[in-house]
Chain A
Amino acid sequence: MRMLNLFKLNNKIKKSHVLIAGSFFIFIGAITLSWSYLARIKGDVYEEMRIAMMDDSKDEKVEETVVENIPIAEKIEKKEDTNNYVIDYSKYLGVLEIPRIGLKRGFYNTDSKYNNIQYNVTMVGGSNLPDVENGNLILMAHSGDAYISYFAYLWMLGIGDHAYITYNGRKYDYQIVNIYNVEKNGIAVVHRNKERTTLTLITCTKDNDFSQTIYILELVG
């Protein structure tokens, strides 16, 4: 009787069932084997899309407006050193350093083909170099987690933190005096004290797809 039941059961397993099960396992096997490759490609696709998204902010028009009651940074003691630094990155126009987030990155002049947000911290057209009194140097870079997201950790900075620009053999010390968000609509309004030499850093706001964060730093040394 048991043999008969087994025979009946065997009879129910048709060739088409075996073939479809085999095809299914081959399909699953192929997916499993190529999983890491597909995951890598997926990562690349996401990376490219992130870059494309961040490129939207590339052609920002920067406007300057004077706003009263801008917080003034506390005076700090001038450093003892002579401010004569040799820039290691000779190919760059200048180097931005923010020790608190471990950032050190060179930037090129606005007329350089390497002054491109796809590759570097980018100097916005119309910026002044650090040696221009009461000028404003505006730098932009991507945030997020792409390899070119040089400003990925700017969100960790607060009022009073320092950033340094090494330019023309001199190291300029800036201190953050204001941080604010603006809508990502192609125009970034920079609120700064025009009687101070400033550095402006612009990047996308952390965890917000529709705004950008602007960091205003004033020269303190």
Chain B
Amino acid sequence: MGSYTYQHFPYRTPDELASARRARRPVAIVGAGPVGLSAAIDLAQQGVPCVVLDDNDSVSDGSRAICWAKRTLEIFDRLGVAERMIAKGVTWRVGRIYHGDRELYQFDLLPEGGHKMPAFINLQQYYVEQYLVERAGEFPELIELRWKNRVTAVENLDEGVRITVRTPDGEYPLECDWLIAADGARSSVRAMRGHRFAGQTFEDKFLIVDVRMEATYPSDRRFWFQPSFDPGESVLIHRQPDNVFRIDIQLGRDADPAVERDAARAMQRVRRVVGPQVPCELEWCSVYTFRCARMARFIDGHVIFAGDAAHVVSPFGARGGNGGIQDVDNLCWKLARVLRDEAPARLLASYEIERGRAADENITNSRRTTAFMSPGSTVERQFRDAVLELAADFPFARGLVNSGRLSQPCDYAGLPGIGPEVLNGAMKAGRPCSDAPVIRPDGTPGWLLEQLGAVPCALVFVEDEAQAARAEADGADCGIRGLNVITVGARATRATGLSDPQGLVRSRYGGAAGVTYLIRPDQHVLARWPHCDPRAWRTAWDAYGRYDEGRASP
């Protein structure tokens, strides 16, 4: 008996089959995993209705993606699910690296305070999906989840997509303006559209085990190269909720998956890791090899690929699930604007370019980690072992020890439409906004990121009441639809302003009086200026909205 009880969601005969109703949908989403469900919620929060089609009727079988990074949690917070995930999840921020029995070093992923979200939580994918399904249920008018609906054909129309869906009651056709393919690494939509998924497969086999046990292990991520307790090349342990532990054991190239997958054999290895005495129970185990691959383009006519359907990586940087949620964050506000006729469809090319850069970054990091973990030739192994041996005495070598470069959000700096960028300081155009504590207009404490997102925002640093009033009035007249002008000062100057008594917003944003940030609905900085000039905001926003790939940053 596992620690998690799977519910089966009810299949209902779709309207198209029950009453022959044939309504065209603005958006259909294939796949009710973390990516597809997040997309549905993000669109619903912006008033866009969608239908989600999934060939199964339950959540993820097995814990699968377990490490959720800070940026992803910030997105989940915008979607209204992060607080529940954090309450259930195991929060961590420290990784410990061992060589044999010796601890080489630790890394701290969030050494500073003043952020609402932690560096990481571990939470099984089935909980993430369950919470997203329940959140989607809060939008009954906008989100329709259709379980046991398998897409069997996809055809691009001039201005939309026609799909064929198979259900227990038979097949039906469905037309939509846009189709989001979030159907995972073995995407059937990708296969049906005949797209290549080019990349690199790694030869090493990994045994991945979830065990339930009463253990006093820390929440830290612990990674051993050449552990003394197991003949494997490496061992990684993560703590999950419900006293479940994820243990990844690197078996090497020659291991036989059919042999290693055996539960009794897997438990023998777990015993070597956890010791002979601790009572523990096997929840799930599997043997994997990993690959890094991506589609050349993520958009095919009106079919948009996201998450693992578009790109996959090995798991040692937690860059798969996190990358997928960050795809959604980038895509959905743009899709909503295109559907409302506020932007041309070519704005979506920015999704492909920006998230293409993210996929490339994730693949590069994943490839380097995998190469370090499984050296191929004698000389590669000599270098790898030299790094591990030097790392005990030489800090520089610790920087080369690579057990996973953990998920960082992509910086879109320098890509088309991003900018202008004329200021010094870390919060450059293209970066995701940093969080900081604020006092809200009603005097209660809150967080900066809670104020940003969903709509375009101008974040204006002010010194006094008059500056705040002018920024608000100018912003209202500047012509960016839905623009939210947020002023920040040492003390609240107006009923709508934020105050920053700890000074962290001003220090993280270089917020001298007048400095203004134009922030996209996905909480990335679009542009920033030393002075408050709403005409410049309009110019930058319109330029991005028209999205011309050939146009360099201003």
Mutual binders A and B: no
